[in-house]
């Protein structure tokens, strides 16, 4: 695609890159004593307007969830609108990930018996606009209709009307028998990645950036499931059956890797390809938590992706650089917010953040 089209996109997004929080801001947020103080500190940042507007109806962690999601959706919209026409199909396909997240949130809420009010405030949306609306097929009212369904079964059946029939219908009978939502969620995720990779074909010349970007995310998800499987002593066949295609680690490699005796040994086997993964072993030995591995893999991928994409500013890379930074910032701020809500000390939270180390 002509570089001039992405020169315009770069010009529109470049001023917005300065709106992401710096290291000093994270240090101050970590020193906050509770979610209310986190919200107060965010008032002097690009989140300020959304914090103040949400304060009229929400407080505490709910206020932060609403404000963070609204700012995040606005950034998604800005990135999509800055994308040249030829790249919008790819960016649009990528942004449907937030429709998928909302659907999975609703299914989990139904499975746990949570109410519409309890769940509605956590949807990834901005006022009446869900994050995936610009490319997806569902509105915020559609999500609320799903929430209002009387049973988990009727919620799943209602999803068929929104274009998810081919994904969900083959699983519906088993779901109604077992009430296990994991196969449905996994199928939605699998279809999402297939769709993004299918859209990012090589016809303009810069879609390879997106394919590598998505492959890196698939790798992180696969490796985390590999570690979870080993920790839970799942059969290797079950791990292979849940593998997402499209990453750089194929399902055929799983049996050899899975032969490790325990999680730390498995991490060592993966370290040749993903050196940072062993950073999570100390925490795992102390607490049996896989969070350290997740953070290490995510940080390693983020550093590598941002370094690579920043070398191709006049391409789809500029859009995905912006989207990635927005996602990482939202994730870090949510981690701080929930950490403060549950009394996690700053020294425990700080190593779990990604953005201050980019």
Task: Map out the domains of the chain with their CATH numbers.
Answer: 207-311 (1.20.1690)
Report how far residue 295's alpha carbon sits from residue 220's, in angstroms, rounded to the nearest whole number: 10
Q: What is the pLDDT of residues 72-82, one digit of tens each?
A: 988 998 999 99
Question: Quick one: average pLDDT of 194-200?
Answer: 91
pLDDT score for 354: 96
Question: Quick one: average pLDDT of 62-89?
Answer: 90
pLDDT score for 135: 42
CB 324 within 8 A of CB 76: no
Residue 47: is its pLDDT beyond 80?
yes
| Dihedral sign from CA coordinates of 265, 270, 274, 277 | negative
Q: What is the pLDDT of residues 282-304, one digit of tens each?
A: 999 999 999 999 999 999 999 99
pLDDT score for 222: 96
Q: What is the pLDDT of residues 203-259, one digit of tens each?
A: 667 788 889 999 999 999 999 999 999 999 999 999 999 999 999 999 999 999 999
Q: What is the pLDDT of residues 200-215, one digit of tens each?
A: 887 667 788 889 999 9
Question: Quick one: average pLDDT of 187-195?
Answer: 92
- pLDDT cut 70: percent of the chain above it: 90
CB 16 within 8 A of CB 41: no
Report how far residue 261's alpha carbon sits from residue 251's, in angstroms, rounded to the nearest whole number: 19
Q: What is the pLDDT of residues 303-357, one digit of tens each?
A: 999 999 999 888 899 999 999 999 999 999 999 999 999 999 999 999 999 999 9
Helix ranges (DSSP H) in the chain: 3-17, 23-30, 35-42, 48-54, 60-82, 88-95, 97-112, 116-120, 140-148, 152-159, 165-178, 182-199, 207-232, 236-241, 254-257, 263-270, 281-287, 291-309, 316-341, 346-349
Query: Which region, left, alpha or beta, applies to residue 343 given φ > 0 means left and ψ of -120 to 50 means alpha?
Result: left
**Angle subtended by helix axes 263-270 and 207-232, to nearest 10:** 160
Average pLDDT value for the chain:
87
Please calculate the CA angle 355-100-240 and round it to the nearest 5 degrees: 85
Report how far residue 347's alpha carbon sits from residue 66's, in angstroms, rounded to the nearest whole number: 26
pLDDT score for 133: 43
In 3D space, the residue among 123, 126, 132, 184 whose CA is nearest the CA of residue 155 turns out to be 184
Question: Quick one: average pLDDT of 107-111?
Answer: 73
């Amino acid at each position: 695609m002509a570089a001039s089209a992405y020169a315009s996109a770069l010009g529109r997004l470049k001023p917005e890159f300065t709106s992401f929080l710096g290291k000093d801001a994270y240090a101050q947020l970590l020193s906050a004593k509770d979610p209310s103080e986190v919200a107060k500190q965010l008032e002097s940042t690009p989140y300020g307007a959304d914090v103040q507007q949400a304060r009229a109806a929400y407080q505490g962690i709910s206020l932060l969830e609403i404000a963070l999601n609204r700012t995040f959706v606005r950034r998604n919209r800005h990135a999509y609108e800055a994308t040249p026409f030829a790249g919008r199909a790819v960016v649009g396909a990528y942004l449907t990930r937030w429709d998928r997240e909302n659907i999975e949130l609703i299914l989990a809420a139904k499975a746990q018996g949570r109410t519409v009010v309890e769940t509605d405030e956590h949807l990834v949306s901005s006022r009446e606009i869900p994050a995936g609306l610009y490319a997806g097929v569902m509105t915020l009212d559609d999500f609320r209709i799903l929430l209002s369904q009387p049973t988990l079964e009727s919620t799943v059946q209602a999803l068929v009307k929104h274009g998810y029939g081919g994904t969900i219908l083959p699983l519906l009978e088993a779901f109604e028998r077992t009430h296990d939502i994991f196969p449905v969620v996994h199928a939605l995720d699998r279809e999402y990645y297939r769709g993004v990779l299918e859209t990012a074909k090589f016809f303009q010349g810069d879609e390879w950036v997106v394919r590598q970007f998505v492959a890196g995310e698939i790798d992180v998800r696969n490796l985390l499931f590999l570690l979870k499987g080993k920790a839970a002593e799942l059969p290797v066949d079950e791990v292979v059956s849940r593998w997402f295609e499209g990453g750089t680690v194929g399902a055929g490699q799983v049996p050899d890797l899975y032969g490790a005796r325990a999680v730390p040994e498995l991490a060592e086997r993966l370290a040749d390809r993903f050196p940072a993964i062993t950073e999570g072993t100390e925490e795992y030995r102390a607490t049996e938590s896989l969070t350290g591995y997740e953070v290490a893999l995510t940080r390693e991928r983020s550093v590598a992706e941002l370094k690579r994409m920043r070398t191709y500013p006049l391409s789809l890379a500029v859009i995905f650089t912006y989207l990635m930074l927005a996602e990482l910032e939202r994730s870090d701020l949510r981690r701080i917010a929930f950490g403060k809500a549950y009394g996690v000390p700053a020294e425990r939270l700080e190593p779990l953040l990604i953005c201050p180390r980019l």
